[in-house]
Chains A and B, each alone.
Chain A
Amino acid sequence: MKLLYFAWLRAKIGIAEERVDPPPEVTTVAALLEWLKRRGPGFAEALKDTRIVRVAVNQEYVASDHPLRPGDEVALFPPVTGG
């Protein structure tokens, strides 16, 4: 699974992207966020309020109950501020 981080999530986590192989119980977006939180202080800080974290799977916005598959591209980012 490929993970991408943008804006202040990237700044707090310290990397822009990585490949991860989460444990088999991580089957949804919500479970992925809980698993990521436990990977270190940067992750915990970036993901402490998951209500303001937007998630895209394979470049489409998804809700927290969206199912995940091993080859997915999952992006985490704050609410967008373009325009």
Chain B
Amino acid sequence: MIRVQREDFDVGAELEALTRGKTGIGGVTSFIGLVRDIAGERRIGAMTLEHYPGMTERRLAEIEAEAHRRWPLDAVLIIHRYGRLEPGERIVLVAAASAHRQAAFDACQFLIDWLKTQAPFWKLEETPDGPRWVDAQASDDAAAARWIKD
């Protein structure tokens, strides 16, 4: 399941809903991304997440489908927020549920690594020097490249 929304989410309630009634699930892994108050040397007052409505949902659905193709998963969840967020606020939740933990761990890493390099979101930071668009990180490309099949 995927959701793109402005409002916050309740992690406990989301994970509970994801697994409810699916008693074949043996483990759930999740990753929660938060807004940091510092980026390198810069203090971050807040950030605004922009996205491409329509394409965002398509890319996230494709990432979810790819995770299901690669691992035996009982459930996948991706929730990503947009709009203005302050330090400490949640940005993203990804979760994977499977009968066994290794598939759940691997799928969870895959989901966030691919999301970061493929889903059309952009971050605009509020800094003491004014607004600043966040640059893409080579380390994110490297993390995603681990999952590219030969």
Chain B binding surface SS class: mixed
Question: Bound state CA distance, A8 and B132, in angstroms?
Answer: 9
Interface size class of B (residues with CB under 8 A): 20 to 34
Judge whether A7 and B50 touch: CB under 8 Å. Answer: yes
When A79-B136, A80-B117 are in contact, do A56 and B122 touch as well, CB less than 8 Å?
A: no
Residues in A with CB closer than 8 Å to B102 are none
| A83 contacts chain B at the CB level, 8 A cutoff | yes
Contact across chains for A83 and B115 when beta carbons are under 8 A apart: yes
Chain A contacts for B117, CB-based, 8 A? 80
Interface size class of A (residues with CB under 8 A): 10 to 19
- In the complex, the answer to whether B115 meets A7 with C-beta atoms within 8 Å is no
Output the least CB separation between B23 and chain A (Å): 31
Query: For residue B120, which residues in chain A have a CB less than 8 angstroms away from its CB?
Result: 6, 56, 75, 77, 80, 82
- Does A42 make an interface contact (CB < 8 A)? no
B94 to chain A, nearest CB (A): 9
CA gap between A78 and B118 in the complex, in Å: 12
Contact A81 B122 (CB under 8 A): yes
One digit per residue, 1 when the CB lies within 8 angstroms of any chain B CB and 0 when it does not, for chain A 60-83 equals 110000000000000101111111
Beyond A81-B123, A82-B123, A83-B116, is A6–B52 a contact (Cβ under 8 Å)? Answer: yes
Contact residues in A for B119 (Cβ distance below 8 Å)? 80, 82-83
B31: nearest chain-A partner, CB-CB: A83
B92 touching A8, Cβ below 8 Å? no
Contact A82 B122 (CB under 8 A): yes
Query: Complex: how many Å from CA A75 to CA B118?
Result: 14
- With A80-B120, A82-B121, A83-B121 as contacts: A4 and B133 at CB distance below 8 Å: no
CA distance A79 to B124 in the complex (A): 13
22 example contacts (A-B, Cβ-Cβ < 8 A) are as follows A6-B52, A6-B122, A7-B122, A7-B124, A11-B133, A77-B120, A78-B122, A80-B117, A80-B118, A81-B123, A81-B136, A82-B49, A82-B80, A82-B92, A82-B116, A82-B121, A82-B122, A83-B80, A83-B92, A83-B112, A83-B116, A83-B140
